[in-house]
Amino acid sequence: MIAELGLAVLWMAAALAVLQLVAGALALRPQGAAMRGVVRPVAVMQGVLVALAFAALITLFITTDLSVKLVAENSHSAKPLIFKIAGTWGNHEGSMLLWVTIMSLAGAFVALVEKRLAENTLLATLAAQAFVSLGFYAFLLLSSNPFARLPQPAPEGAGLNPLLQDIGLAFHPPTLYVGYVGLSIAFSFAVGALITRDVGPAFARAMRPWVLGAWIFLTVGITAGSYWAYYTLGWGGWWFWDPVENASLMPWLAATALLHSVSVLAARNALRAWTVMLGVIAFSMSMVGTFLVRSGILTSVHAFAVDPARGSFILALLAIYIGGALLLFALRAGTVTEGARFAFVSREAALVFNNVMLCGILGIVLVGTLYPLLTEAFGVKVSVGPPYFNPVSAIFAFPMLVVMAVGPLLRWKDDRGGRVAPILAVPALVALAAGGAALAAGVRLLPTLGLALGAGLAVASLLPLRGRNLRRTPLPIWGMVVSHLGLAVAAMGMASESAFSIETLAALSPGETRQVGPYALTLDRIDPVAGPNWTALQATVSARYAGGEADTLTPQARVFANPPGTRTESALKTRWNGQLYVVLGEEAQDGRWQMRFWWKPFVPLIWLGGLLVGLGGFLALIGRVARDVKRLVAIDKIAFRRERQGR
């Protein structure tokens, strides 16, 4: 019953999306004024209905309704409750429903709270949002129905992939999806503004919080996903250049560029066409990512099912939306009047430079991700990995870090390099000292540059605060400082991980000790242990840092029954100056146990930095929204006073 209700509600929501599109399009015409009041309530109602459909699917997973195909194929009655819930989106159909749910809720949210945007542009935006949603409704209802029943209820569910039975599944996909799909708002804003030809500072100020919101979720989602992969995969790496990781990185790069260009548009009325273009590209990258992941054309732990029909469907959606938006852009870009000009040494120019660098990295990642597909069409199988991505993206990333240090200190419109040079002496010296020390320690070129630029940028990122009253510094300035500092911290963590990691592979008998960097590690014993739906072998390892007190680590090799599968559970010990990482392997023939140890100095800085970047975005968002709310309240007061005087 719940499955049929869920499906019915989903169809109704799709019908409302059609209404939203038609009403929005009609309302833009002079004779369609009657439709103007319809669009917002329909958008809100559509969001509510989809949320109900999603709640229905979660209910089916919680109660493990085995007559529903999706539940039978992906869940199991003996699974812990949290994984039953999270398992709702741990499969193709459920994750697409989550996608549509977030997309419609985002549209509903815009319809509810967006007050600054010109009414016509808002109507066009909501119509565009409905148009995009419709494609995904069609995909869901026609080729990926999550509510399909089985002819015969299954006796028991097939269970969830053990790799996904982790608390990370509860947070990582929804966070990333909010980011991906939140960018659809930026896309719809861009399309709406192209339709009404209303691109200017007011449009940028209205668009900025939405971009910022999506970008924060993307940042946090990527950071969390990286940490999740680091501790569950047991390979000791934090970024694999896996196609799916790239699929999340590309929208982030585009959204970062968009965030900065939208600020230029808001403050200086420049970069008009460029901003609109980035709005289109950012969500296009989200959709390309979805295509790569969900079509199964690339192999990855993230690919749920290989189904060519679904791939073609998403490819068609891509062609319609990206092609359509680019066509609209080509037709209208010429009529978007040129914005204000600026000199080559100015804050705008620095932002443009970094926009181009971000797009360069985006291009590098996109080409590297698609290249194996391209060659496979000619029958040649290749894979592209870190030897390509690391140095080639660094060529663009390093100049970007330098300009990031300088840009925030420059004035808008026009400035002299000589004015900021003395201010930058301190960070430049810090960078030289760090780089010199790293070179002297025999660190390779790329990590040396990373350490030097990270250290220099960390200092330089604080400089915009100099001479300011810290209590009166606006939150958006704090946000910029914290985000830039976060990126510097993350860069230092990455460089340190790549320069100083120590890896040891050993076969140990119980009682044996091995030295790994500053740690003396003793394998005490191996015991069998059991969890709710798994059994495991657990090693007990005593770790002494530089001869100090022993910490106990317990890495496990888990065996799952439903579905059958295994997973290594690494054990971590975090100190202020790094992290110890221990993995238990197999028993060798002679009774010794294979163990893998890493000592990774300062590796937590990578994720700490990522979280700081997200926190900076959050501060900026609070600052912007607070200012808007204040403004709206003031406008209301004036209107109220006028009304009273009028009487």
Partner 1 sequence: MSAIKAKHQRLVLLVIALAALIGAGLLAAWALSKQASYFYVPSDLVAHPPEQGRAVRLGGMVQRGSIKTMPDGVTITFVVGDGKATVPVRYAGITPDLFVEGSGVVAEGRMEGTTFVADNLLAKHDEKYVPREMKDMTQAQAKAVVAETK
User: How distant is the alpha carbon of residue 225 from its chain centre?
Assistant: 9
Q: How far is CA 345 from CA 256, 338, 399, 575, in A?
A: 22, 20, 16, 43
CA-based end-to-end distance of the chain:
57
Which SS3 state, helix, strand or coil, does residue 236 take?
A: coil
Least distance from partner 1 to the Cβ atom of residue 528, Å: 17
The beta strand positions in 475-634, using DSSP E, are 502-508, 513-516, 519-530, 534-545, 550-553, 556-560, 565-569, 571-575, 578-587, 593-601
C-beta closer to partner 1: residue 531 or 548: 531
| Closest of 172, 262, 250 to residue 209, by C-alpha | 262
Backbone angles phi, psi at 567, to 5 degrees: -150, 135
Burial class of 587 by CB neighbour count within 10 A (0 to 12, 13 to 18, 19+): middle
The reply on whether position 590 binds partner 1 by CB under 8 A is yes
Cβ distance to partner 1 smaller for residue 267 or 356 = 356
- Give the residue, chosen from 324, 464, 474, 585, that forms a contact with partner 1 under the rule CB under 8 A: 585
Q: How far is the CB of 192 from partner 1 (least distance, A)?
A: 23
Which of 592, 608, 622, 625 contacts partner 1 by CB under 8 A? 592
Torsion, Cα 242 243 247 253, to 10 degrees, reads 60
Backbone angles phi, psi at 158, to 5 degrees: -80, -15
Check binding of 467 to partner 1 (CB under 8 A): no
Interaction with partner 1 in 545-564: which residues (CB under 8 A)? 563-564
The pair of structure tokens assigned to 359 is 């797009």
Query: Which span (521-529, 572-580, 591-599, 636-644) binds partner 1, by CB under 8 A?
Result: 591-599
Site residues (CB under 8 A) for partner 1, limited to 202-261: 234
User: Residue 35 or residue 406: which is nearer to partner 1 going by CB?
Assistant: 406
Residues in contact with partner 1, shown as a per-residue x/- string from 488 to 527 under the rule CB under 8 A:
-----------------xxx--------------------
Does the protein bind partner 1 through residue 32 (CB under 8 A)? Answer: no
**Contacting partner 1 (CB under 8 A), which of 80, 308, 385, 436?**
385
Nearer to partner 1, 566 or 577 (CB): 566
> How far is the CA of 302 from the CAs of 91, 242, 351, in angstroms?
9, 10, 34
Contact status: 594 vs partner 1 (CB under 8 A): yes
Residue 550, burial from CB neighbour count under 10 angstroms (0-12, 13-18, 19+):
middle
Among 51, 141, 318, 384, indicate the residue that binds partner 1 (CB under 8 A): 384
How many degrees, rounded to 5, is the angle at CA 346 between CA 343 and CA 352?
90
Query: By C-beta, is 40 or 272 nearer to partner 1?
Result: 272
- Is 596 a binder of partner 1 (CB under 8 A)? yes
Instruction: Tell me the two tokens of residue 367.
Output: 């080409």
Minimum CB separation of residue 388 from partner 1 in Å reads 4
What does the DSSP 8-state code read for residue 79?
A: S
Q: How far is the CB of 399 from partner 1 (least distance, A)?
A: 10
- Interface segment toward partner 1; rule CB under 8 A; list 36-44, 224-232, 246-254, 369-377: 369-377
291 binds partner 1 (CB under 8 A): no
CB nearer to partner 1: pick between 203 and 274: 274
Residues numbered 472-491 forming contacts with partner 1, rule: CB under 8 A: none
Structure tokens at 169: 């599944």
Residue 636 sits in the site that holds partner 1 (CB under 8 A) = no
Q: Alpha-carbon torsion 198, 200, 204, 205, what sign?
A: negative
Euclidean distance between CA atoms 174 and 178, whole angstroms: 6
Task: Compute the distance between CA of residue 340 and CA of residue 6 in angstroms, rounded to an integer.
Answer: 51
Q: Which of these ranges, 135-143, 211-219, 335-343, 440-448, lies near partner 1 under the rule CB under 8 A?
A: 335-343
Burial (CB count <10 Å: 0-12, 13-18, 19+), residue 33: exposed
> Of 81, 330, 380, 440, which one interacts with partner 1 (CB under 8 A)?
380
Comparison of 512 and 628: residue with beta carbon closer to partner 1: 512
Residue closer to partner 1 (CB basis): 231 or 371: 371
Residue 535 engages partner 1 in binding (rule: CB under 8 A): no
578-587 and 571-575: which strand pairing?
antiparallel
* Residue 227 CA to its chain's centroid (Å): 13
Binding residue for partner 1, selected from 113, 148, 167, 301, defined by CB under 8 A: 301
Residue 398 has which token pair? 């390093």
Residue type, 294: R
Q: Which residue lies nearer to partner 1 by CB, 143 or 594?
A: 594
Binding of partner 1 by 437 (CB under 8 A): no
Does the CA dihedral 393-398-401-407 come out positive or negative?
negative
The pattern of x and - marking residues 126 through 165 that bind partner 1 according to CB under 8 A reads: -----------------------------------xxx--
Q: Is 379 helix (H, G, I), strand (E, B) or coil?
A: coil
How many residues touch partner 1 under the rule CB under 8 A: the total is 63
**Residue 425 burial (CB count, 10 A):** 9
- Output the DSSP codes for 326-357: HHHHHHHGGGS-------SSSHHHHHHHHHHH
Pick the piece of the chain touching partner 1 (CB under 8 A) from 384-392, 429-437, 445-453, 536-544. 384-392
Cα–Cα distance measured from residue 425 to residue 408, given in angstroms and rounded to the nearest whole number: 15
Among 122, 352, 605, 615, binds partner 1 (CB under 8 A): 352
Q: Among 30, 81, 152, 338, which residue sits at the site for partner 1 (rule: CB under 8 A)?
A: 338
Minimum CB distance to partner 1 smaller for 360 or for 604: 360
Which residue stretch of 131-139, 212-220, 284-292, 587-595 sits at the interface with partner 1 (rule: CB under 8 A)? 587-595
- 89 forms part of the interface with partner 1 (CB under 8 A): no
Nearer to partner 1, 518 or 585 (CB): 585
> Three-class SS of residue 224?
helix
The residues binding partner 1 (CB under 8 A) are 161-163, 234, 273-274, 298-301, 303-305, 338, 341-345, 352, 356-357, 359-361, 363-364, 367-368, 371-372, 375, 380-385, 387-388, 391-392, 395-396, 413-414, 505-507, 563-566, 568, 583, 585-586, 588-590, 592, 594, 596
